[in-house]
Amino acid sequence: MANYTKKAIKETFISMLEEHPLSEITVKELVEKCEINRNSFYYHYQDIPALIEEIIKEEAESIIGKYPSVSTIVECFDALVEFASHRKRAIMHIYRSISREVFERHLMAVSEYFVKNYVNTVLAGNPIAEADKKTIYDYYKCVCFGLILDWLNKGMTDEYAREIRRIFLLKKDWAKEFAALLQGQV
């Protein structure tokens, strides 16, 4: 019964968030739509930000589970776009709210996961120092994270996502180039 209630709370909240900005959603309205009492909500969640944290964390874990490996930077970008746009309107309402930090924190974690996965795949068998690998991770993580934030700030347009994807397609071998530079081979 507890899992059913939590699921109902999350689904109802996301449905409400698809229609209204976060600032317009109250626990009172949420429990009325769920047809539960306030105590049931507070049994599962301290407040709406705690609910948002759990939903975003689950979404991050879900997208990571969907991509156990990535072999190109384009795959990293595509996965991040999928994470950020799975529930486009709800994400935009969270992104434009006081809970933006929660989304950004998980976006950064997802970015790091995909970038490390990509870099480790591309540089497998390449004798590169861990400190140099970390430099490559950090660079790609920040580029991916920053471009996704820019895409969000521009309203998540498909056109801008295609432009960013094209950049990654054009520079798909950067990780190998960086590794060579760091090893003094170029």
- Is the domain of 105 the same as that of 25? no
The rounded distance, in Å, linking the Cα atoms of 117 and 156 is 25
pLDDT digits (tens, 9 = 90+) for 85-106: 888 899 999 999 988 999 999 9
The 10 Å Cβ neighbour count of residue 13 is 24
Collapse the DSSP code of 113 into the 3-class scheme (helix H, G, I; strand E, B; otherwise coil) and give the result: helix
Residue 184, pLDDT above cutoff 70: no
Number of structural domains the chain divides into = 2
Task: Copy the structure tokens of residue 50.
Answer: 């705690």
Taking the C-alpha atoms of residue 156 and residue 67, their distance in angstroms, rounded to an integer, is 22
Cβ atoms within 10 Å, residue 79: 22
Q: Hey, how many other C-beta atoms are within 10 angstroms of the C-beta on 1? A: 6
Q: Is 120 helix (H, G, I), strand (E, B) or coil?
A: helix
* φ, ψ (nearest 5 deg) of residue 111: -60, -45
pLDDT in tens, 148-182: 999 999 999 999 999 998 988 887 767 777 777 77
**Domain of 126, in residue numbers:** 56-182
Residues 125 and 162 in one domain: yes
Three state DSSP letters for 35-103: CCCHHHHHHHCCCHHHHHHHHHHHHHHHHHHHCCCCCCHHHHHHHHHHHHHCCHHHHHHHHCCCCHHHH
Residue 93 in tokens: 């309402």
Domain with residue 10: its CATH number is: 1.10.10.60
Task: Name the more confident of 3 and 19.
Answer: 19
pTM (whole model) above 0.75: yes
Q: Are 44 and 139 in contact (CB under 8 A)?
A: no
To the nearest whole percent, how much of the chain has pLDDT over 70? 96
In a domain, residue 85? The reply is yes
Residues 13 and 100 both lie in one domain: no
User: What pLDDT score was predicted for residue 186?
Assistant: 47
Are both 77 and 163 inside the same structural domain? Answer: yes
* Cβ-contact 76, 115 below 8 angstroms: yes
